[in-house]
């Protein structure tokens, strides 16, 4: 490619020039899922450096895919997808559906990332299916990971979005979930099922058994699992 482009008039080549720069589609997916602030977006793409992310967001703004606005009082900066970017959402979702259906699960599950898994699980939790109490705390542990990467806490409070904590929030834990990372990823993505992985003892529970037995209700799986 000369000058970073394909030098063709074909609409597909023009679309590729706009969308091919690494991370562009993943940034859009994270924003379509509701993230609008820099650090929030970055939690959904933890493998991307802050410097590269800032550069890519500037490029996406210049290309009309995102807008950047700043609150003059608080200084808070918010990024939002534009109308032309939103036209892409069903197309990108269809691409993901194609990949889920046609790329071998063993290939998909070669590269595992607990942070990305938990961040996406967090946003799909059905808080309405959790017990009616002030707060529900569920700790996930992946024993095969290094000590400082193996524990995650989901904290659900009435009337607020579910929070993901990477350090102990200091609350009493209602349910401890211990899992093999590959098993949990496979079950959440729909390559296997929660019941199958639980029966294989690759996912186990200690604590509130009503939470454990209803996990299929409150831990809503990936949209691709269907």
Which has the higher per-residue pLDDT, 54 or 159? 54
pLDDT at 1 over 50: no
Angle between helices 89-102 and 24-32 (to 10 degrees): 110
Q: What is the mean predicted confidence (pLDDT) over 45-74? A: 93
pLDDT at 160 over 50: yes
Q: What is the mean predicted confidence (pLDDT) over 162-185? A: 96
Q: Residue 188: which of 225, 145, 226, 138 has the closest Cα?
A: 225
Number of Cα atoms under 13 Å in the Cβ half of residue 120: 19
Which has the higher per-residue pLDDT, 57 or 130? 57
pLDDT at 4 over 80: no
Question: Can you give the pLDDT at residue 176?
Answer: 98
Least confident residue range of 10-24, 38-52, 175-189: 10-24
Q: Tokens 């790329």, residue?
A: 103
Which has the higher per-residue pLDDT, 5 or 64? 64
pLDDT tier for residue 3 given thresholds of 50, 70 and 90: low
Q: Count the neighbouring beta carbons within 10 Å of the beta carbon of residue 120.
A: 19
Number of Cα atoms under 13 Å in the Cβ half of residue 16: 11
Which has the higher per-residue pLDDT, 197 or 224? 197
pLDDT at 203 over 60: yes
Percentage of the chain exceeding pLDDT 90: 73
Structure tokens at 18: 């706009």
Confidence (pTM): 0.84
pLDDT at 159 over 70: yes
23 near 48, Cβ under 8 Å? yes
125 near 117, Cβ under 8 Å? no
């Amino acid at each position: 490619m000369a000058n970073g482009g394909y030098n063709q008039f074909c609409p597909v080549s023009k679309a590729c020039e706009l969308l091919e720069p690494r991370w562009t589609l993943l940034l859009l997916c994270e924003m379509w899922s509701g993230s609008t602030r820099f650090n929030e977006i970055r939690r959904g793409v933890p493998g991307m450096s802050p410097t590269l992310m800032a550069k890519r967001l500037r490029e996406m703004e210049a290309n009309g895919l995102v807008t950047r606005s700043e609150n003059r009082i608080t200084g808070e900066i918010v990024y939002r997808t534009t109308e032309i970017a939103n036209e892409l959402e069903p197309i990108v979702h269809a691409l993901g559906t194609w990949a889920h259906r046609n790329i071998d699960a063993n290939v998909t599950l070669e590269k595992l990332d607990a942070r990305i898994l938990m961040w996406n699980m967090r946003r799909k939790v059905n808080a309405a299916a959790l017990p009616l109490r002030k707060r529900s705390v569920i700790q996930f542990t992946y024993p095969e990971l290094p000590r400082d990467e193996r524990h995650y806490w989901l904290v659900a409070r009435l009337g607020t979005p579910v929070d993901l904590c990477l350090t102990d929030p200091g609350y009493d834990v209602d349910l401890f979930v211990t899992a093999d990372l590959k098993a949990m990823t496979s079950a959440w993505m729909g390559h296997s099922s929660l019941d199958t992985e639980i029966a294989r003892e690759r996912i186990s529970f200690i604590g509130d058994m009503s939470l454990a037995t209803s996990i299929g209700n409150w831990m809503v799986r990936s949209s691709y699992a269907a």
